[in-house]
Structure formats: C-alpha cells, structure tokens
Structure 1
Amino acid sequence: MIPGTIFADRVAVVTGVSSGIGKAIANALVAAGVSVHALSRRPIGDGADGNRGGLVWHKVDLAKDAEVIAFSEHLLSKGRELDFLVHCAGLFATGDVATTDVEQFDKQLMLNLRAPYVLTRALLPLLIRRAGQIAFINSSVWNNPRAGLSGYIASKYGLKAFADVLRAEVSPQGVRVVSFFPGRTATPMQEEIFRKENLDYDPESLLQPEAIASSLLDAFALPPSAEITDIFIRPAKPKALK
C-alpha cells in the first residue's frame, strides 16, 4: 500500500485514459491523492466530460500535433505544476510487410511513438522544474517479435529507444524515466486482439490493469536516490492459448 502523503498535492498527465491500463492508472493516481489531467479523444466516466474529484478530462487527439501543443501550452500558461507524465495511449494493428499499406504503418508510428515524443518535449520544462517522473507503457512484444506486427513492434522498439535516450538526457536534472513492458492484459484492446487471432478470451487468466497501475505507483514512490528503468510484468499463471 502506497502512503497517500507521498502523492498528496502532486499533478499528473495521463494519456489513453478512456479504458484499459490508462484508465486504471488514472484511477489509482487519483485514489492516491494526485490531481490527474486525463487525455483522450472520447469522454470518460459517466458525466458529459468525465470530470470528477481529482481528475479533469481534456479532449485531445494525440495524432494531431496542434491539439497536443494546445493542451501543453494551456498548462504552461496557467503556471501549473507537473510531477508525473504517463504515456498509455496506443494503436495496435496487424498486417504482413508485403500486404500492409504505408498509411497503417504511419498511423502506428504516429500514435505509439511520435505523439509521446511531441507531448514529452512540450511538457519537459514543467517536469524538469519539479524533478518529475515519466512512464512509458510499452509492450512485451518488444522482447518477442512476431510475424504480422511490423508497424506495432517497430513503434514499440522506437518507444523503448526514445525512453532510454530521454533518461540519459534528463537524469542529471533529477527527472526519472521508466518503461513498462506488460504481457497480455485484460483490456478492450486485448479482447479485440484475441478476436482477430481467433483465440478464446479469458480475462481472468491475463494481467489485470490494476496490477500495472499498482506497480507504477510503487516505482514513482521510490526515493530520489533510486531509479527503476525497465519493468517487465506477465500473467502469473497464463493459460495455454486456444
């Protein structure tokens, strides 16, 4: 259990919060006392805009630079503080190199790699000022390349490289950077992947988004003298895929 005082009065930006891992992380941060700016294209929660205690939703299409920059300039202009930046948004698509058009490849690079770069770059002054922390929710495919996933895996390899280079640049300024590599997780996106692969979807046999959120808070709660760089998480008792 993370003491609430560690996160009290802290501020976070979390992307991909409409469902799955991003939603679980946003909820966990709010429960710990963090004020969360939640970014997604679709409203979240039961209200018209998803706003609730500790969480403010911002309609941002991460594939559009202008919207990402506008949100970042909004925070900067308001003199807001920022302690945590969590990249959860992602796009998954399948297709062999020989048959997949370049447009689909570009869309995955745009959302999975370029958008985190643009958002991180824009918010870096706030994070440096607060000696903040940045988390990239990557994927276990980084360590397990498979046929038919060239665009997705290429973008995730790039995201790992970006995180490593970023860490080398900002660590001297007190900013910590961690990459998460979860295995198959019970999310709407994973359910769709199972359907496309003609596999039986049993969410209870998969990682739960809340477990990843808990691990993230543990990493953020480390004292400033320590830094976790990479976290690999997999289901404890995975079932054979059928």
Structure 2
Amino acid sequence: MKAAEDRRTHLVTGAGSGIGGAVARVLLERGDELVLLARDASRAEDLATDFPGARTLVADLADVASLATLDLTGPLDSVVHAAGVVELGPVGHLSAGAWRSQLDVNLLAPAELTRVALPALRAARGTVVFVNSGAGLRANPDWAAYAASKFGLRALADALRQEEAAHGVRVTTVYPGRTATPMQEQVHAQEGRDYDPSAWIQPATVAAAVVHALDLPADATIPDVTVSPGPAASG
C-alpha cells in the first residue's frame, strides 16, 4: 500500500466491467485514489460497493452535454477513457441513431471529458489514456460506425498530444485486439458466433499496458501501444 504522499488520483470511465474495471482494480489495490464515472445513481452505488473508497460521479456518456457540469477541480493525475459501445452492421443498414450513439460515447464524450479535466491534468502534469481498438487502425465490413468513432478517437489523441506537450500532459493510445469483455460477448452475438472468453486477450493484460503508460517516468511517453493476441489466445 502506498504512503499518502505517493498516492495518485485517476479518473476511469467504464469501470463497471472489462478493461476499465481491470484498470480500476489494479489502481485501487495498490493504494491510489479513484474517481469513477457512472451513468446513473444506481450504477454509482454499484461502483462504490465494488471499489470501496472510490469517489463516484454521475454522468451519462451518451449525454455529452452533461459532462460539462462535472466537478473535476481536485487533484487529478490521469484520465483513462475505457468506456465504449458498439453496434455492428453494414453502412446500408445502420440507422443515423446507431451512428450517433457510437460517435457520442466513443468519441465526443472522451473529447468533452478531457476538456473538462484539462486544468487539473495540467496542474498535475498528468496523463490521458485512450483505450481504442484494432478498429481504430483498420475498418472491416460491418464495422464502419464503430471504426469511424475509433479512427476519430485516434485523431483526437494525436492532436491532444501535440497541443498539451507544452503543459506536460502526456497522451497514450492503447489499441487492444479482441478482449474477453462483455462488449466482446455482445459482438459475438451480433456476429452470430459462439463466445469463448478464454480464446481472447484477458482484460487484466490490457490493463497492465494501461498502467505501465501511467507509471512511465516523466522523461518519456508512450504515444501508441498495440496489444495483440499471444500464443495462448486461440481466437
């Protein structure tokens, strides 16, 4: 457990499950302070139970305007954007609503949340980590809307990295391959395939890459890191 003066404060989205949950668990267990975003009061109670001592904030990433009212004036050493949504389908079938929901949660919400957090991040010379996706590097059939949101997230990170270098804020993008999360289970259902979580990268593995970026000494940064399936993954 860290001494009080060594503890850092991290804002994590998507901590209810998957990669965000794995990141939050590592940070909590080593003694850091957590600020967790929840879409509603009930979800905030669940997160407070799962992560004792964490501060919870209620804001729905699908309602981007609500993020502007968040109180992020306290100490803040990092923001980890791990939340996301996905809806597969060919361009000819996807509704405007499907595009909008993915762009809102996967791109516009991270942009707005980062904007609100920047004063605190600058004060701490902190780090922003965007958990992207292999879809942010390559778009495949039926993935157009999700990939567009993730390509946009990549552009956001690249621009932010250059803009905030003078303020000492570091920006890392993590591109995981298919990871055994509830979202992956949802994707398999949309693809009409059986789901075996053991066939994919485990959330804790991606979380290790995220935490490594957070812990890097101040004399360096990791702009981008891709986490690909290893020999143990059969997917």
Normalised by the size of structure 2, how large is the TM-score?
A: 0.91
Q: For the Cα contact (< 8 Å) 1:6–1:221, is it kept in 2?
A: no
Residues 101 and 191 of structure 1: CA distance in aligned 2, closer, same or farther (over 3 Å):
same
Identify the residue that residue 36 of structure 2 maps to in structure 1.
Answer: 38
Instruction: Please state how far the C-alpha of 1:207 moved relative to its aligned partner.
Output: 0.8
Could you say which residue in structure 2 is the equivalent of 1:15?
Answer: 13
- CA–CA separation in structure 2 for the residues paired with 1:196 and 1:138: 20
Q: CA–CA distance in 2 between the matches of 1:203 and 1:114? A: 30
CA contact (8 A) 1:205 1:235 kept: no
Point out where structure 2 has 5 or more consecutive residues left out of the alignment: none
Q: Quick one: distance in 2 between partners of 1:7 and 1:44?
A: 30
**Aligned twin of 1:180:** 174
Once the two structures are superposed, the pairs formed by residues 47-126 of structure 1 within 5 Å of their partners are: 49-50=48-49, 52-71=51-70, 74-76=71-73, 80-126=74-120
Match of 1:221 in 2: 215
Structure 1 residue 163: Cα displacement: 0.1
How many residues align? The count is 233
Q: Could you tell me which amino acid in structure 1 is paired with residue 122 of structure 2?
A: I
Equivalent residue letter for 1:225: D
State the shift of 1:51 in Å: 6.5
| Structure 1: gaps spanning 5 or more residues | none
- How has the CA–CA distance of structure 1 residues 175 and 134 changed in structure 2, closer, same or farther, with 3 Å as cutoff? same
| Structure 1 equivalent of residue 229 of structure 2 | 235
Contact 1:50 1:57 in 2 (8 A): no
Residues 7, 33 of structure 2: 8 Å contact kept: yes
Distance 1:220 1:83, change over 3 A: same
> Which residues in structure 2 correspond to 1:141-156 (within 5 Å)?
141-156=135-150
Out of 201, 206, 211, the residue aligned to residue 200 of structure 2 is 206
Rate the CA distance shift 1:7–1:207 in 2: closer, same or farther, 3 A. farther
Tell me by how many angstroms 1:141 deviates.
1.5
**Which residue does the alignment assign to 2:132?**
138
| Paired residue secondary structure (2:49) | coil
| In structure 2, C-alpha distance between the alignment counterparts of 1:210 and 1:44, rounded to whole Å | 22
SS at match of 1:212: helix
3-state SS of 2:92 partner = coil
- Conserved? CA contact 1:50–1:56, under 8 Å: no
- Give the root-mean-square deviation of aligned CA atoms: 2.2
> Given residue 18 of structure 1, which amino acid in structure 2 is its aligned partner?
G
Q: Give the alignment's TM-score, normalised by structure 1.
A: 0.89
Secondary structure, counterpart of 2:180 in structure 1: coil
Identical residues among aligned pairs (%): 36
Q: Deviations over 1:151-175 (max 9, x none)?
A: 1000000000000000000012111
Structure 1 residue 86, shift from structure 2 partner: 0.5
Q: Deviations over 1:32-83 (max 9, x none)?
A: 2211111122545985853743412222201223431222xx232xxx1100
Match of 1:178, SS state, is strand
Distance 1:101 1:92, change over 3 A: same
